[in-house]
Every structure is written in C-alpha cells, then in structure tokens.
Structure 1
Amino acid sequence: MHVPDGFINAPVSAVAGVVAAGAVAVSLKGARRELDEKTAPLAGLVAAFIFAVQMLNFPVAAGTSGHLLGGALAAILVGPYTGILCVSVVLLMQGILFADGGLTALGVNILDMGIVTTVVAYALFRGLVGLLPRTRRSMTAAAFVAALVSVPAAACAFTLMYWIGGTTDIPIGKVFTAMVGVHVLIGIGEAAITALTVGAVIAVRPDLVHGARGLTAPLKLRIDGELVDAPARESAAPAPAPAARSNRGLWATGLVTALVLAGFVSYYASADPDGLEKVATDQGIDKKTEEHASKDSPLADYGVKDISDARISGGLAGVIGVGATLVVGSGAFYVVTRRRRTKDEPAGGNTRTGEKV
C-alpha cells in the first residue's frame, strides 16, 4: 500500500507529513517507557523483519497481490509507540534506498501504514485480551483479529486522504469499495503472518512480547481443597546470564530468518501489483503519478544495479535492505534507551550511591 508521489496533492501531503512528524516525536518519547536494554535489540530486529516480509507479496485475487503492513505485528511485539517507529524506519529505508513509496508522500505512508495500523491493531488487541482467557492461544487469536482489521482500516484512511486531496476526479464511493474489498483479503494474509510470528515468540519468550506482559495468570496450588497462589520462586544470582544468552539466540534466529526471507524466498514472491496499485490502475487514480526522486538509486525496485541475474540482484538487495534497516532501527532505539537511562540517573549524582560529585 505504498503511496507514490502524485496520488495525493501537495497541501494534504504536507499536512499528513506534519501529523506523521508529530506522531513520531510523541512515539520517541513513549518508546522510552517501552524499551530497555533487553527489548531495544528486539525492536531493531522487528523493523528488519518487517522489511523482509514486506518483500513477500502473496496472491489474494486474480491479478492482485498483497504484503504485510506490519503495524499490528510491531505494536504487539514491542509496543505501540515503538511499533510506529519500527514501521517508520522501514518506510524511510524503502523510500530512500529502493524508490518504494514517494518521498513527498512519506508522511502519507507513515500516517496510513504506520500510525493507523498500529493504533487500530493495538487498541483492538488490548481490548480482546482483556476479555479472553489469559493464554497463549487467546493472545494469538487476538493478534490475528487485530491484524486483520488493521489493513482495511488503513485502506479507509487512504480513501479519506484521497477524498480530501486526490489529484484525479474519481467517485469516492468506487475508490472506497475497491480499496476496502481487496484489503480485507490482504488482511487475512497479514493476520496469518502476525499470529504465527506472535505465537512463536510467545512460545519461547513471552516476557519479550510487549502485548503479553502482565497477562500470565499466577501459578495455582491446591492446598486443603482450595486454590491459592504459588509463592514466587526466588532467583539465584547467576540467573541473568541464561536470559542474556536466550535473548541473543532469539535475536540471531530472527535475523537469520529475515535474511533468508529477503535474500532467497523473496525471489518467489508474487509479481502481481499489490492492492493499491491494482485499484489505482483500474480506477484511474494513477493518472498523475510522478517519477520517484530515488529512481536512479542503485537499489531501486529491489534490485542491485548492473547485476543482470534477477535472483542474485533481488536477493542481494533484500539482504542489504535488512542490514540497513537493522542498523538504522537499532541505532535509533539505542539512542532512545540511552536517553532514558540519562533521564533516570540522579542529576549531578553518582549512579551507584546517589551522592553529589
């Protein structure tokens, strides 16, 4: 659903850019509460994983494909504020390096694919897990429903922006029907990917899933016929070491998965236009599409310039994209956690004793 330059006029694109910039600024502040040294590396990995999976277009109807948007997945795994930042980093990398999504439309894309999907999905997810039993299965089901709804919600948001600032004169009812219809189908794929990923992470490290925090019911013991909470088990001093190793293992597994998806599996992705491209062509929305400012990038259209072999060119571009997204995302989240630590330290005091120095 990457909106190119020329679909939405300059005033609406500018307003969307201001709203998106404000949301990113708020998210930077909110992410300080969501991230710590344990979860910050996971956030960078989530951004890289979303980039990789977005390369895997899957068929949804005759001549139409779809791909992951990622807002629901990011929000559930690392939190809504950090989720907005994750998707924003992905969109920035795609726009600058791969000429995917217009640069003047970057604010439109962040607002549509990053903010709307994240907010809608996380609000629905939290509402559902508050009603359902506190189990891995119920949280996975809630992730499925939240992701499913988030995609047509983004389609509605695009339709609204097009209604206000579209550059072609197309009946808005036709645009709405076409956009929502195809993106409901795409939402099913989004929901499946999100549920599978969230369920897999919850199975091995539920403590690292932001949406699962505080949802695990306490262990019960039956004593004299009554159920009582089991006493908390005291942890030994060396306990943090296994957790650290487990974090590294999960991070490494996720990175290898992202590299394989982007570097190898992406070659087999559907070549059909995605939902927005198909609707734009069928309805005439694309009549005033402008050339991308990064069309001459060596990685434009997800291929490495001057490499003729499509498999090698696309795979190498995918690996470069995963690496670039991981570096930029991890760097941003490292800065966020550093600012949190600096803010938490006593002003002018020793961090060990709190005494003035």
Structure 2
Amino acid sequence: MKNEIVPDVPIQRNISKMKQFRLRLWKDRHLLLLLLPGLLYFIVYKYAPMFGIVLAFKDFNPFVGFLESDWVGLKHFKTIFADDEVLRVIWNTLALSFLQILFVFPVPIVIALMLNEVRNQAYKRVIQSIVYLPHFLSWVVVISIVFIFLKSNGLVNSLIQELFGIGPFSFLSDPGFFRPLVILEVIWKESGWSTIILLAAVAGVSPELYEAAIMDGASRWRRIWHVTLPAIRNVIIILLILRIGNVMDSGFEQIFLMLNSFNMEIGNVLDTFVYFKGIQQADFSFSTAVGLFKGVVGLILVVLANTIAKRFGEDSLY
C-alpha cells in the first residue's frame, strides 16, 4: 500500500485564509473602487513625499543630486533652535494656533447647539446651507472679499467715517489687526463645515433623554447642559485632539495671501517660512528640517492629548 502524502495543516489553513481573502476582495470590489481615489491621494501626496525627508539630514546640492549630497546629520535641526528668526516664526505659529483653538473651536459647537433647537425644519436647512457654504470658497476668493471691504476706501472704513467721523483704519497693514482678521476669516469660512459633524452627533442623542429631562422640569438651557453636551462630549474631545495635532499648521494659503511688508514680523508662520526658505531662497535642506520638526511636534501633541483623554476616562483616537 502506497503512503499517502497528507498536506500540512498550517499550510491548508493559510490556503483557506488566502481563498477567503480573495473572495472577500471580489465581493467588496465596488467599495474598493470607491476607496481607490482617496487611497491614491494619500499615497501620492502624503506618503510618497516622505522619501524626501532625507534632505533634512543632508546639504542638498542640485548639481550632484539627491543621493550624492553630503550628509550633515542634525546640523539643520540645531540651526532651528539657534536662529532667532525661526524661534520668532514658531512663536507666531503657536500663538495663532492657540488663538484658533480658543476662539474658533467652540464656534461650531455653539452653532450646532443653536441649530438643534430650531424646530422649523425648512428654516433650519436654509440656515445650515448659509452657514457652511463659505467652506466651498477658496482662500483666494475669501481674502479678495476681505481686501475689498477693508481697504482704506472700502465699505467698512467708509461706514466708520460716516457714522463716527474717525478713520480710515489700516486694517490690512496694521500688525495689530492681523491675528483678529485671521481668526474672524477662519470662523466665517470653516465653522459651518465643522458644524456638520457635531450636528450628526447631536442627531444621535436619544429623544428619551430629553423626555426624561422635561419630566424632571429641566429648562431648555438645562437640557443642553446636562443632556446634549455630555452626549456629544466624545466627538468634541476627538475633534480637539485632532486640532491639537495641527497646532503647528496655521494654513499656508490664508496666511500667505494676508502677508505684506508691514505685518511680516507678526504674520510669518512655519508654513510660509518653509515656502520662503525652500522655494524662494532654494534652501531645501533647512526647510525640510523645519517641516520634519513641525510634523514630529504635531505627532507628539496628538499622542499626548490622546493619552490625557484616556487617563481621564474619555473616548480617544486609539
């Protein structure tokens, strides 16, 4: 009797798993095709450029190429903390980001709570559309509108002069107006879009909780404070963690379009600094080091904020 060769059990299991995986891929092929554009976006614009991080550790010379440039180790990172201009730019970035967290982040929460109290659905939909439509405008359009309204002979200065007999004010060139203008522009353009996420969270609150609160005699403000806000607290915390992770990003387009020779000292942030150094002055290695530093700080802040949230028993990213 011939000996039969029995396949190894682990090999059979692996073959079975691979077959199941292929069947699942084929079953979900339409969903995977929908995922493909977003996946390609992240691969091409987020992951592929990460190979250029090596420039932060080299003195890049375009005449000898990417691979043949001299290694300099941490030289450019030491320059970051030794250069007064870089320290000033980091301070400008942090100041602007924390002002946005303080004044911009709460606005979508307030708008979502207000819209949730509107009972007329047609009126509610109209207000929602008006509030989040500015998100679809480019920063070029937004800054152009701001320039038209706030220039020396613009509508705002004309009204101030006519009503109060003072002015005109240099809104666009006075450094004191730079940060308030940036904050107000972000509130107008982005708050409505962020409201959508919070409205979705509010919509998931059980109506029974509101009914129980009404039975207990809770006023509308009490229902908001004791029912709505605790119910969407996890979403607010996750959004806050993500916002803290972007604390080193102030938005290149908006800041770049707002900059001029008068407000450069207070308005130049890391994003615009990297552009001026890397593109205009062709200092690719140093600008790459600054960009890498910004990314590492953002990662540390996300991990730290997530750890604190978990420590206090709140929902977190992971």
TM-score by length of 2: 0.31
Larger RCO (CA within 8 A; separation ≥ 6) = 1
Higher alpha-carbon Rg: 2
Report which of the two has the higher share of helix: 2
